[in-house]
């Protein structure tokens, strides 16, 4: 059976879970917390492409310390709503992180499989410290024992789009975080 995409669903008809203002307020708070915890030090933010790119950009600007960033790309969803469970590294970091303070920046912590894989991968690079920041935490779906050190919002087990998060590469530019309908109109 072919995996067919539903027709485009206008974001305006999706329920807003978090507004642009709510997101900005939480990102500023996390940026302040990180700035206080790492006062006088430099940090490296490692964004998980593509979903975390917008969150990483906002977080980097909210941190008042010297910070640089790099990116990794992994795949565990493909074009589905549910993780396949198999994590595949598509792009590793470009710069060494040995001896540096590192924060992995992810859009959503769901089953934990991806972040568990990435945590182990980054620890192999021997950073001075390693923490995790996530925009969304869907704890009820966790399959492995992992937690984020910085969380904007805990959410229920619903599929969300916007603020960098997508469905089959669509909706990343939606400025709010919205709930994707279970059964989109016309599907």
Top CATH class, 15-179: alpha beta
* Domain residue ranges of the chain, discontinuous segments joined by +: 15-179
Can you name the residues that pair with 175 across neighbouring β-strands? none
Distance CA 145, CA 186 (A): 39
Q: What is the pLDDT of residue 1?
A: 37
* 120 in active site: no
> The whole model's pTM is what?
0.89
Catalytic residue among 107, 110, 166, 176: 110
* Region of residue 39 (left: phi > 0; alpha: psi -120 to 50; beta: else): beta
Residue 16 has a CB neighbour count (10 Å cut-off) of: 15
SS3 73: strand
Mean pLDDT, 10 residues at a time, the chain of 187 residues: 56 89 98 98 97 97 97 74 71 96 97 94 97 97 95 95 92 93 59
């Amino acid at each position: 059976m072919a995996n067919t995409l539903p027709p485009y669903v206008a974001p305006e008809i999706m329920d807003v879970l978090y507004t642009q203002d709510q997101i900005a307020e939480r990102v500023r708070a996390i940026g302040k917390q990180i700035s206080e915890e790492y006062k006088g030090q430099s940090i490296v933010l490692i964004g998980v492409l593509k979903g975390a790119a917008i969150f990483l950009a906002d977080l980097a600007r909210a941190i008042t310390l010297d910070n640089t960033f790099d990116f990794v790309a992994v795949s565990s969803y493909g074009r589905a709503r549910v993780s396949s469970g198999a994590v595949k590294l598509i792009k590793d970091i470009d710069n060494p992180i040995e001896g540096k303070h590192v924060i992995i920046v992810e859009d959503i912590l769901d089953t934990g499989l991806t972040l568990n894989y990435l945590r182990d991968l980054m620890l192999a690079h021997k950073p001075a410290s390693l923490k995790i920041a996530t925009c969304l935490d869907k704890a009820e779906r966790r399959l492995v024992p992992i937690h984020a050190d910085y969380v904007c919002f805990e959410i229920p087990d619903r599929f969300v789009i916007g603020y960098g998060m997508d469905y089959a590469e669509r909706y990343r530019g939606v400025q709010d975080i919205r709930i994707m309908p279970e059964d989109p109109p016309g599907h």
